[in-house]
């Protein structure tokens, strides 16, 4: 069997000879000794793709895994890219996943060896702290070693440039070419002189974070918080204290960083069961609010009490609430932005208040580049409430703004549910949902998209399909991307695309009902029923169980 034109075992032995990590060396040596062709083929099936999210994948030996060889080559390629553009300095952050500190140290050594100034944050931090540090320190790039909310076996390597934004084309392609040009690991120079920063950067971040809330707004709010075994707790608690809020009650079982994420099946607050411990604590303590961060604290989830029990708000609902709160607080200029897979309600809110509005492809790598950006969100629990401070999603500042909004409403004898009623009464009911099947056979994802392109349905959920757009062709001002968008009668919409970070097909659905058609409760029931029919029919078209 051959991979890339080389004998598989020979390629594995060559990798083994230059791998500096005893753990991955031992794993690879065992696979070679046992002649485990299938496992070797998986690890050597090709390099991890360096894209707009940098690198992300399972830990292990070989070019198709995250390991010290892959990270060293990535750092050397990034260093070459920066030096060709007269770059001088890079700041590096890392979370508490397996090997994150090792990958950060390897990167610092490679950057130093290339003649760049390498600045390493002093301990595991949330991703937004690294994004803040780039512009605060005035460096040319930033690297965050994290796999965000991926499974425990994964890690990743996220790259930002000096504007504090994640890389987009053509930078990703150009960096990838530099990585491909890196020679044997022994030829990559490594230095020992890099700077480990003090906590001054974190202190500056906390000062900036506290400034997102008004000094005169109410602070009486009881919050239960979980960092989901990630790195958010110390920073969020410090941010609440600095902003003048009572300290949140932290879920003890999930408080400390743990790369095994032992209390959850999947470390993503969107996943069923992930915030059950927080909800139980909130019920016991009669809290006003539950807030959860994902493991690198760039996302923020919110749950609220209802007469039927605690309910986690959808990402779109939190996005509407934060946007409406900023408007109520007096935001009078700038652009509100969201992605094409998020709800259309924000566009109506911005237009109603004379604000600019923009839609981008999925991801803050695109949202952060919107001209005149004042506020942005994506339905996957990502919110940018202070783009002048952190031009990326930030689960810490989003949590502060949610706490301020909830405290303000509490002082008015109202809650977040009441404000959602007000928003829907004004802009209509917008029901959004997802189908996100996970595949072991990645070919099925491509096949499902090709089926939609070749044989689009005439009707979904009792609504005629009016238009189908192949996003790979580029639509409007959007750059080409793999995906399909279907417009249905009465403003309904479906978007289907492959996930950029997981082996999933992501299907985003929206039913939009205009205001004035009845009570919000009855309209929600109608919209939810329509959404369920849409999900059912789309699943049948895609051949999902």
DSSP, residue by residue, 262-284: TT-SSS-TTSTTTTHHHHHHHHH
The crossing angle, in degrees rounded to 10, of helices 395-411 and 127-137 is: 110
Inter-residue contact 166 to 158 (CB < 8 Å): yes
For residue 441, pLDDT beyond 90:
no
Among the listed residues 56, 129, 133, 125, the one whose alpha carbon sits nearest the alpha carbon of residue 89: 133
Say how many residues make up the chain: 545
Residue position matching structure tokens 């743990």: 258
User: How many Cβ atoms are within 10 Å of 287's Cβ, its own excluded?
Assistant: 23
What's the burial of 36, exposed, middle or buried (CB within 10 Å: 0-12/13-18/19+)?
middle
In this predicted structure, what is the pLDDT of residue 4? 42
Cα separation of 74 and 49, whole Å? Answer: 11
In this predicted structure, what is the pLDDT of residue 68? 98
In this predicted structure, what is the pLDDT of residue 436? 85
Q: Tell me the pLDDT band of 5, cut-offs 50, 70 and 90.
A: very low
Q: What is the pTM of this model?
A: 0.94
The residues near 525 (Cβ < 8 Å, ≥ 6 apart) are: none
How many Å from the N-terminal Cα to the C-terminal Cα in the chain? Answer: 35
Give pLDDT tens digits for 210-263.
999 999 999 999 999 999 999 999 999 999 999 999 999 999 999 999 999 999
Give pLDDT tens digits for 32-67.
999 999 999 999 998 998 877 799 999 999 999 999
Local structure of 438: helix, strand or coil: strand
User: What is the token pair recorded at 386?
Assistant: 């202070």
Of the listed ranges 5-9, 74-78, 456-460, the least confidently predicted one is: 5-9
In this predicted structure, what is the pLDDT of residue 544? 78
User: Given CA atoms 369, 376, 380, 102 in this order, what sign does their dihedral have?
Assistant: positive
The mean predicted confidence, pLDDT, of the chain is 95
For residue 399, pLDDT beyond 60:
yes
Inter-residue contact 373 to 360 (CB < 8 Å): no
Give pLDDT tens digits for 95-111.
999 999 999 999 999 99
- Helix, strand, coil % in the chain, rounded to nearest 5: 40, 20, 40
In this predicted structure, what is the pLDDT of residue 401? 98
Local structure of 119: helix, strand or coil: strand
For residue 1, pLDDT beyond 60:
no
Residue position matching structure tokens 């959404």: 531
For residue 7, pLDDT beyond 90:
no
Q: Single out the catalytic residue among 100, 107, 148, 222.
A: 148
Residue position matching structure tokens 């005893």: 22
Cα separation of 40 and 241, whole Å? Answer: 50
Q: Tell me the pLDDT band of 209, cut-offs 50, 70 and 90.
A: very high
Give pLDDT tens digits for 302-347.
999 999 999 999 999 999 999 999 999 998 899 999 999 999 999 9
% of the chain exceeding 90 in pLDDT: 88
Query: What would the mean pLDDT of 169-176 be, rounded to a whole number?
Result: 94
For residue 458, pLDDT beyond 70:
yes
In this predicted structure, what is the pLDDT of residue 6? 53
In this predicted structure, what is the pLDDT of residue 342? 96
CA atoms within 13 A on the CB side of 397: 32
Among the listed residues 319, 275, 46, 279, the one whose alpha carbon sits nearest the alpha carbon of residue 176: 46
Active site residue 148: yes
DSSP, residue by residue, 291-330: EEE-TTS-BEEEEEEETTEEEEPPHHHHHHHHHHHHHHHT
Is the previous residue joined to 170 through a cis bond, with omega within 30 degrees of 0? yes
% of the chain exceeding 70 in pLDDT: 98
């Amino acid at each position: 069997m051959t991979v890339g034109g080389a004998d598989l075992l020979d390629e594995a032995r060559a990798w083994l000879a230059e791998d500096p990590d005893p753990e991955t060396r031992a794993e690879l040596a065992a696979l070679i000794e046992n002649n485990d062709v299938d496992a070797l083929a998986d690890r050597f099936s090709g390099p991890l793709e360096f894209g707009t999210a940098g690198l992300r994948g399972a830990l292990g030996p070989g070019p198709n895994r995250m390991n010290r060889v892959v990270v060293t080559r990535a750092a050397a390629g990034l260093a070459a890219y920066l030096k060709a553009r007269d770059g001088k300095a890079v700041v590096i952050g890392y979370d508490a996943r397996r090997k994150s500190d090792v990958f950060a140290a390897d990167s610092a050594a490679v950057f130093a060896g290339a003649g760049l100034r390498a600045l390493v944050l002093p301990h595991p931090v949330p991703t937004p702290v690294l994004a803040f540090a780039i512009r605060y320190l005035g460096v040319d790039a930033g690297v965050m070693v994290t796999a965000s909310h991926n499974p425990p076996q994964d890690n990743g390597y996220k790259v930002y440039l000096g504007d504090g934004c994640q890389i987009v084309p053509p930078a990703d392609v150009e960096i990838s070419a530099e990585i491909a040009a890196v020679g044997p690991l022994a030829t990559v120079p490594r230095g020992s002189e890099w700077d480990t920063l003090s906590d001054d950067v974190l202190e500056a971040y906390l000062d900036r974070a506290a400034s997102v809330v008004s000094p005169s707004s109410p602070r009486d709010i009881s919050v239960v918080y979980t960092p989901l075994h990630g790195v958010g707790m110390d920073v969020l608690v410090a941010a609440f204290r600095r902003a003048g809020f009572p300290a949140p009650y932290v879920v003890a079982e999930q408080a400390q960083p743990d790369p095994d994420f032992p209390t959850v099946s999947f470390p993503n607050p969107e996943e069923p069961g992930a915030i059950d411990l927080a909800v139980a604590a909130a019920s016991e303590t009669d809290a006003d609010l539950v807030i959860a961060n994902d493991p690198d604290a760039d996302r923020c989830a919110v749950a609220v009490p209802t007469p039927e029990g605690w309910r986690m708000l959808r990402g779109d609902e939190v996005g509407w609430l934060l946007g409406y709160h900023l408007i109520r607080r007096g935001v009078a200029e700038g652009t509100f932005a969201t992605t094409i897979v998020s709800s259309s309600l924000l566009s109506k809110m911005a237009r109603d208040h004379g604000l600019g509005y923009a839609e981008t492809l999925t991801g803050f790598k695109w949202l952060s580049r919107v001209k005149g950006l004042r506020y942005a969100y994506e339905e996957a629990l990502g919110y940018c409430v202070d783009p002048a401070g952190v031009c990326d999603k930030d689960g810490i500042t989003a949590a502060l703004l949610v706490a301020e909004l909830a405290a303000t409403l509490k002082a008015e004898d109202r809650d977040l549910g009441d404000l959602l009623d007000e928003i829907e009464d004004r802009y209509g009911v917008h029901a959004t949902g997802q189908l996100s099947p996970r595949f072991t056979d990645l070919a099925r994802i491509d096949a499902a998209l090709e089926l939609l392109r070749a044989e689009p349905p005439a009707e979904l959920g009792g609504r005629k399909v009016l238009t189908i757009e192949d996003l790979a062709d580029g639509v409007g001002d959007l750059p080409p991307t793999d995906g399909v968008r279907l417009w249905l009668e009465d403003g309904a919409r479906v978007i289907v695309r492959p996930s950029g970070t997981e082996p999933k097909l992501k299907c985003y659905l929206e039913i939009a009902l205009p205001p004035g058609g009845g009570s919000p409760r009855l309209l929600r029931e109608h919209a939810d029923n329509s959404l369920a029919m849409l999900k059912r029919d789309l699943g049948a078209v895609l051949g999902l169980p």
